[in-house]
Amino acid sequence: MTVHGGREVIDRLVAPSTARRSSGERGRRRTALAAGLFVAAGVLGAVALLSIAYGSKSIPLGRVVTSFTHYDPTSNDHLIIRTLRVPRTVVGLIAGTCLGLSGAIMQGLTRNPLADPGLLGVDAGAALCVVIGISVFHVDSVRGYVWFAFAGAFMASLVVYVLGSAGRTGATPVKIALAGAALSALLWSFTSGVLVLDAATLDQFRFWQVGSLSGRTSDVAWQVAPFAIVAVLVSLGTARTLNTLALGDDTARSLGITLGWSRALCAFAIVLTAGTATAIAGPIGFVGLTIPHVVRKFTGPDHRWLLPYCALLGPILLLGSDIIGRVVDRPAEIQVGIVTAVVGAPFFIALVRRSRLAQL
């Protein structure tokens, strides 16, 4: 059976309850989900506008608009908006989108409902390379951290996939998860060893490790923007592949899927998304873990809807948490990595207690 000929079979298997409905009901469901995407996009736009307007100093929304339509370089408010808050918001959009997508793809690929960027060693690899950059190469800016973090995330993910592919059975979800956990423990031990011996590196690294959007300039955003665009496009392109892999290896093979190539494509999407987010904002937890579970409540397991929703709700959660962190402790701020943990952990616990996590 060819992949093209088997697409209807895939649709029925990944959403059996939907397949049993009449064509009219399925059409209404698709219309509702499509409308939901537009609503989510509108909410994201509103949150982004609030991210620009609110901080240690609140700026009226009207002045935010005029900073784009009639920019005045002598206005302090316009300078704050254009040089500080817009780049920060753009970084939040990029990181949130990538975290939401990476969590959904990781959970789908490994069939592990608790998967997030830390599972495949992405955070640990990025952290080790940032520590090396600070300690050995004396990097002292976010602009420099980006490239070390990206390199570390890529190399760690590559090693995990190679280890998970070893053996006659090739890459399997369980082997990939185990390889990621083992490599993460090893890399974090190396990172801890360097930090114990180098107090100056520890002092710089702790600001990156907590996860933050502050201090990110437009240069940093432009550096990672090409990777983010490719990451989003590749991630959205894995939807049908993930749907097919969810049916099991035997069924996927019968539908013409090459398992090794399909899993490699998904792993590549994870490297790009998780690596980009970690490089630009540091390790931020609970966004990639929680958002996919929230989305599955109303989209079901179909990744053709799951991934676009995660791409929109991820930055909503991240930017919303960043706004909370800037407002509750004025004129100082609480780093967004701390806020997402405070907001996301109780919510995720409540989600687990109310209903059993979906089998992936």
pLDDT per residue of the chain (360 residues) written in tens, 0 to 9: 444 445 555 555 555 544 455 677 888 889 999 999 999 999 999 999 999 998 878 888 888 889 988 888 889 999 999 999 999 999 999 999 999 999 999 899 888 777 777 777 888 998 999 999 999 998 887 778 888 988 898 899 889 888 887 877 766 777 877 888 899 999 999 999 999 999 889 888 887 888 889 888 888 888 889 989 999 999 999 999 999 998 888 888 888 888 888 988 998 898 889 888 988 898 898 899 889 989 998 899 999 999 999 999 999 999 999 999 998 888 888 999 999 988 877 877 776 676 555 455
In a domain, 246, yes or no: yes
For the chain, the domain total comes to: 1
In a domain, 268, yes or no: yes
Q: Which two tokens stand for residue 144?
A: 């420099």
CA gap 181, 109 in Å, rounded: 15
Crossing angle, helix 218-236 and helix 303-327, to 10 degrees? 160
In a domain, 139, yes or no: no
- CA-CA-CA-CA dihedral for 22, 26, 29, 34, to nearest 10: -160
In a domain, 319, yes or no: yes
In a domain, 313, yes or no: yes
pLDDT of 131? 92
Three-state DSSP state, 342? helix
In a domain, 126, yes or no: no
Q: Which two tokens stand for residue 269?
A: 């999407």
| Domain at 69, CATH number | 1.10.3470.10
pLDDT of 91? 95
In a domain, 154, yes or no: no
CA gap 360, 341 in Å, rounded: 24
pLDDT of 5? 44
In a domain, 197, yes or no: no
CA gap 21, 37 in Å, rounded: 22
For 67, counting Cβ atoms within 10 Å of its Cβ (0-12 exposed, 13-18 middle, 19+ buried), the class is buried
Parent domain of 335: 7-117+213-354
